A and B are shown apart, each in its own frame.
Chain A
Amino acid sequence: MEEAVIRVEGLYKDYDTPAGPFSALKDVDLAILPGEFVAIMGPSGSGKSTFMNILGCLDRPTAGKYFLAGRDVAALDKDETARLRNRTIGFVFQGFNLLPRMNLTDNVALPLVYSAISHDERRARAQAMLEKVGLGGYAHSLPNRISGGQQQRVAIARALVNDPRLVLADEPTGNLDSHTGEEIMGVFNALNEEGITVVLITHEADIAAHARRQVRFLDGRVVHDAPTQPHRRPPSEASQRHPLPGEGGREEGALC
């Protein structure tokens, strides 16, 4: 069997709240294989964001195991998890989270700064990524000069610039109108077709329909886990308008 990119076993996350202890995750088991496109759904408070933070190595579970590309994340120190966030995972946030004072190239190149990559190569790779998301002409613009959809494309370019195996997106269309949201989903579809594993959180069924597998959380448990019905999946127009060049030769297991 192919090794899972993400495998969690018996995952618990407890918080101390003023109202007493609260379990955000209760005994979650899940495996995501390379190349999957998974939508994690659920109402607010269902534990999906907590789950995403753990997947992104930003948070640690109270109990249970998390293997990212076969490595037990609990055994890694802070620098090693930072390295995972830098090279193995690409993050896309609801609020785009671009740095306002930097132009788009510098924003996209930021992860490469923490990989000790030379200035010229950072520039070149960032420019290539901007072109890939259709914003090659905006290299020197500041984030507040472009639209929300464009900002999210830049954020996707930043997530991709260090060649991650896994893209985690937390409500990536939450701040966008539905048309722009569809476009962004087209970009994710195209990425997935290149072989990148995509996991996204959403509470919108339309958005989740783009994924090939849907996982539903409720009260900290997985209550539904099934492939998306094929007929509900709309054609990926956006990916046709912005064709992503095939990359090929991605090395499995070349984690860091």
Chain B
Amino acid sequence: MLGAMLQEAWRAMGANRLRTLLTMLGMVIGVGAVVLMMAIGQGAQYAVAQTISTMGSNIFVVLSGYTSVGGVRSGSGSAPTLTVVDAEAIAELDGVELVAPVHMGSVQMVYGSNNWNVWVMGSTPPFFDARSWALADGTVFTDSDVRAATRVAVIGKTAASNLFGEENPVGKTFRIGQAPFTVLGVLAPKGQNLEGRDQDDVLVMPITTAQRKVFGTPFQGSARQLLVKASSGEAMPAVEKGIEALLRQRHRLRDSADNDFTIRNLTAVADTAAETTRVMSLLLGAIASVSLLVGGIGIMNIMLVSVTERTREIGIRMAIGARERDILAQFLLEAVIISVIGCAIGLVLGIGGAALANQLAKMTVVVSGSSVLTAFGVAAGVGIFFGFYPARKAARLDPIEALRYQ
């Protein structure tokens, strides 16, 4: 029975090949678009997840306050309200794993005939752990380097390749102004951060060196930022409250005064970014689904035409013993075959398109098995859903009227 019906459906589809192919094309485009969009959306989610994992987990950044001169308020970090001693106090709080004070700015570094403007981060050894930043080569500076403000640095991959080219930077000496600095190590690459800035274009040195010998900061022992790593995600809310209370107490702020610092939860930022890409991915899928819907309507349209054209045939079949469900199944099968074949072609094109986007546009794409299965299931569903009405119309024809139809 099924064999005969498949043969029948094939014959009916072959009777008007161009029409069948055009109907199928609707499904091809719909499924292709869904697969491609889901690949791009999931790729974006994957890329963001990768970026987030480079930030280090369970991190707070405490920013120092702003100055207010005659009502004109400068941005965060313009007043040196945070100190290295604050950092030491925070390190004593429950749930705090590491604290690293950071002082930053940009300088011009020179090596031989090369020079490069780089972002300097002055900090302490816990900085590398807090940022989960591994070394590609060499070593990091030590606490004694911090105490002695030695002229040593750990260099990021981008900065290293710009300044040293193909040479191995470890042990090399470069200059900032007239002062010589020794490269202790090279950081493992992290790529772009969420704002799109290259995290590897960086020079990390002891905070004391940065303040005294590079920037000549008047407020020595201050810090623009404190990097605080909580011991776990669950500890973060308590740690945030603890830091706030501690700093208000240490800075002797009255109850009515505003905080002279800002606590930023990087995990929350990351969650927002992940949520944004998730929504974008859903949106892409939703837009692509519209074309799938249009493809389904195309199938319904053509099946209705087909039922009208084959009215007489339906009458003949009924007269020789076809039951309503036989006629229903015949037309439904045809709709499902069209949509499933269209879906298969669409899958191939969608995956091909994703591969092309990856090759040509360097997009991160992820074609998951679940998105392929979903596309197939949806296509079969679309075939049944949009094929049902025409098929039922065929099955409900009055055989006498149908036989009389010219």
Q: A interface vs B, CB < 8 Å? A: 53, 56, 58-59, 78-79, 82-83, 85-87, 91, 93, 97, 99, 101-102, 110-111, 113-116, 119, 122, 158-159, 162
Q: How far is the CA of A158 from the CA of B316 in the complex (A)?
A: 11
Please give the distance in Å from A175's CB to the nearest CB on chain B. Answer: 14
A114 lies within 8 A of B316 (CB):
no
A110 lies within 8 A of B400 (CB):
no
18 further interface pairs, Cβ-Cβ under 8 Å (given A85-B319, A114-B323): A53-B400, A56-B319, A58-B318, A82-B318, A82-B323, A83-B321, A85-B320, A87-B321, A93-B319, A97-B312, A97-B316, A97-B319, A99-B313, A101-B12, A101-B15, A114-B322, A114-B326, A162-B321
Does B11 sit within 8 A of A, measured CB to CB?
A: yes
Does B361 sit within 8 A of A, measured CB to CB?
A: no
Q: How far is the CA of A233 from the CA of B3 in the complex (A)?
A: 47
Closest 5 pairs between A and B when the two form their complex, measured CB to CB: A86-B321, A82-B323, A114-B321, A111-B320, A113-B4
Which of A83, A97, A102 is in CB contact (< 8 Å) with B11?
Answer: A102
Closest B residue to A116 using CB positions: B1
When distances are taken between beta carbons in the complex, the residues of chain B under 8 Å from A102 are 11
Closest B residue to A91 using CB positions: B319
Does B399 sit within 8 A of A, measured CB to CB?
A: yes
When distances are taken between beta carbons in the complex, the residues of chain A under 8 Å from B4 are 113, 119, 122
8 contacts between A and B (CB under 8 A): A53-B400, A56-B319, A58-B399, A79-B324, A82-B322, A113-B1, A116-B1, A159-B320
B403 lies within 8 A of A93 (CB):
yes
Q: Which of B3, B11, B399 has the most CB of A within 10 A?
A: B399
Given A93-B403, A97-B403, A102-B11, A78-B324 contact (CB < 8 Å): yes
Which of A59, A110, A122 is in CB contact (< 8 Å) with B320?
Answer: A110
Q: Which of A59, A85, A102 has the most CB of B within 10 A?
A: A85
Please give the distance in Å from A36's CB to the nearest CB on chain B. Answer: 22
Interface string of B202-228 (1 = CB under 8 A from A): 000000000000000000000000000
When distances are taken between beta carbons in the complex, the residues of chain B under 8 Å from A113 are 1, 4-5
Closest B residue to A111 using CB positions: B320
Does B317 sit within 8 A of A, measured CB to CB?
A: yes
Please give the distance in Å from A255's CB to the nearest CB on chain B. Answer: 13
Q: How large is the interface on B (under 10, 10 to 19, 20 to 34, 35 or more residues)?
A: 20 to 34
Please give the distance in Å from B169's CB to the nearest CB on chain A. Answer: 77
Q: B interface vs A, CB < 8 Å? A: 1, 3-5, 11-12, 15, 312-313, 316-326, 399-400, 403
Please give the distance in Å from B316's CB to the nearest CB on chain A. Answer: 5
B3 lies within 8 A of A114 (CB):
no
* Interface of chain B, main secondary structure: helix
When distances are taken between beta carbons in the complex, the residues of chain A under 8 Å from B403 are 58, 93, 97
Please give the distance in Å from B97's CB to the nearest CB on chain A. Answer: 73
When distances are taken between beta carbons in the complex, the residues of chain B under 8 Å from A115 are 321
Which of B11, B12, B321, B324 is in CB contact (< 8 Å) with A111?
Answer: B321
Q: How far is the CA of A221 from the CA of B399 in the complex (A)?
A: 25
A58 lies within 8 A of B316 (CB):
no
Please give the distance in Å from A198's CB to the nearest CB on chain B. Answer: 17
B316 lies within 8 A of A99 (CB):
yes
When distances are taken between beta carbons in the complex, the residues of chain B under 8 Å from A158 are 320
Please give the distance in Å from A54's CB to the nearest CB on chain B. Answer: 10
Please give the distance in Å from B150's CB to the nearest CB on chain A. Answer: 90
Closest A residue to B324 using CB positions: A78
B320 lies within 8 A of A101 (CB):
no
Please give the distance in Å from B81's CB to the nearest CB on chain A. Answer: 86
When distances are taken between beta carbons in the complex, the residues of chain B under 8 Å from A83 are 321, 323
Please give the distance in Å from A162's CB to the nearest CB on chain B. Answer: 7
B317 lies within 8 A of A110 (CB):
yes
Closest B residue to A83 using CB positions: B321
Q: How far is the CA of A227 from the CA of B202 in the complex (A)?
A: 113
Q: Which of B1, B15, B318, B319 has the most CB of A within 10 A?
A: B319
Please give the distance in Å from B346's CB to the nearest CB on chain A. Answer: 28
Q: How far is the CA of A122 from the CA of B316 in the complex (A)?
A: 18
Please give the distance in Å from A19's CB to the nearest CB on chain B. Answer: 20
Q: How far is the CA of A101 from the CA of B399 in the complex (A)?
A: 20
Q: How far is the CA of A97 from the CA of B320 in the complex (A)?
A: 11
Q: How far is the CA of A86 from the CA of B3 in the complex (A)?
A: 19
B400 lies within 8 A of A59 (CB):
yes
Q: How far is the CA of A116 from the CA of B320 in the complex (A)?
A: 14
